[in-house]
């Protein structure tokens, strides 16, 4: 009699299962960021000064496009890899709570407000009467991690947990979680934009305290987009598009600890 043989799923199978469970907007943003990096690598594009968030260029030439190009571009393979590995579980959690359309609008809002906070703080520090710190207005920063820091604050607030684990090493009060990460990454990673991450935290707290409520559309806006028959029939069949009316039925796994690996190029 032959013994029962129990086999475990291979790495490729597990990756497919993990990716197939990732909602539409989260997977879409991940693919876009990865594709942009790959295209830049193939064509040899490295003129990041043209697309990064550069406060002096935004102020002097009104280059508002930098608000968004700076978010989608990354400076290295590790940069895009670490950011997306962090974003996927975080985005998946929020997309299942908020719905796909609402999360997409939220990320657009966060990219915009992060850039505005970045701009304001950089020039306030530069032109303060006590001590000038002029390098911040000429600091060129790229990467999705500013938005990720905003989402960390929002997810932590929605989870309602009292403590969060930092890399599985120790627990900190949830209200200090984002600030602890901000400090740790300044020490652990080189060439990191402190102001980029700080702006993300400020936007996250502004959202959780309701300061952006007047900028957020009502439920009818999201429902009208979700009600587009062609959009829903195509996306919902993919079993990845999360409708806002269904997202509130998904239980929130508040105990999840995200292993955060975030850096700016």
Q: What residues act catalytically?
A: 145, 197
Cα–Cα distances (Å) from 16 to 22, 24, 35, 112, in that order, read 10, 15, 19, 33
Q: What is the DSSP letter of 62?
A: -
Partners of 170 in beta bridges? 166
Quote the pLDDT of residue 250. Answer: 41
* Percent of the chain whose predicted confidence (pLDDT) is above 90: 53
Tell me the pTM.
Answer: 0.82
**Counting Cβ atoms within 10 Å, is residue 76 exposed (0-12), middle (13-18) or buried (19+)?**
middle
pLDDT tops 90 at residue 220: no
CB 126 within 8 A of CB 65: no
Higher pLDDT, 68 or 190: 68
Quote the pLDDT of residue 249. Answer: 38
Instruction: Locate 258 and state its tokens.
Output: 């995200």
Quote the pLDDT of residue 126. Answer: 86
**Counting Cβ atoms within 10 Å, is residue 252 exposed (0-12), middle (13-18) or buried (19+)?**
middle
Dump pLDDT digits (tens) for 4-58.
Answer: 554 555 666 766 666 667 888 999 999 999 999 999 999 999 889 999 999 999 9
Cα–Cα distances (Å) from 90 to 27, 96, 132, 204, in that order, read 11, 10, 37, 14
To the nearest whole number, what is the mean pLDDT of the chain?
A: 82
Q: Which residue has the tokens 């919902």?
A: 236
Dump pLDDT digits (tens) for 124-161.
Answer: 988 887 777 778 899 999 999 999 999 999 999 998 88
Quote the pLDDT of residue 251. Answer: 40
Higher pLDDT, 13 or 201: 201
Length of the chain (residues) = 265
Quote the pLDDT of residue 11. Answer: 66
Quote the pLDDT of residue 18. Answer: 62
**Helix (H), strand (E) at residue 172:** strand 170-173
Is the domain defined by 21-230 classed in CATH 1.20.1540.10?
A: yes
Boundaries of every domain in the chain: 21-230
Contacts of 177 (CB under 8 A, 6+ apart): 152, 156, 164, 166
In sequence order, what DSSP letters do the residues of 137-162 get, joined into one string?
A: GG--B-SSHHHHHHHHHHHHHHH--S
């Amino acid at each position: 009699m032959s013994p029962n043989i129990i086999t475990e799923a291979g790495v490729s199978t597990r990756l497919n299962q993990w990716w197939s469970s990732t909602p539409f907007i989260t997977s879409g943003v991940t693919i876009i960021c990865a594709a942009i990096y790959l295209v830049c690598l193939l064509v040899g594009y490295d003129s990041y000064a043209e697309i990064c968030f550069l406060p002096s260029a935004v102020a002097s030439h009104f280059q508002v496009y930098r608000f968004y190009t700076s978010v989608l571009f990354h400076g290295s393979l590790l940069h895009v890899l670490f950011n997306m590995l962090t974003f996927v579980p975080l985005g998946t959690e929020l997309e299942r709570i908020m719905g796909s359309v609402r999360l997409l609008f939220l990320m657009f809002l966060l990219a915009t407000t992060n850039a505005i906070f970045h701009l304001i703080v950089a020039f306030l520090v530069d032109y303060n009467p006590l001590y000038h710190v002029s390098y911040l207005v000429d600091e060129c920063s790229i990467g999705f991690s500013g938005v990720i820091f905003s989402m960390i604050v929002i997810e932590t607030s929605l989870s309602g947990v009292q403590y969060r684990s930092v890399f599985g090493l120790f627990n900190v009060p949830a209200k200090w979680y984002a600030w602890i990460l901000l400090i740790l990454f300044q020490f652990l990673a080189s060439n990191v934009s402190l102001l980029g991450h700080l702006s993300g935290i400020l936007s996250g707290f502004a959202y959780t305290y309701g300061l952006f409520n007047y900028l957020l559309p009502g439920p009818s806006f999201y429902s009208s987009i979700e009600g587009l028959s062609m959009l829903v029939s195509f996306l919902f069949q993919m079993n990845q598009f999360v409708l806002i009316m269904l997202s509130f039925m998904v239980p929130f796994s508040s105990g999840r600890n995200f292993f955060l690996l975030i850096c700016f190029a």
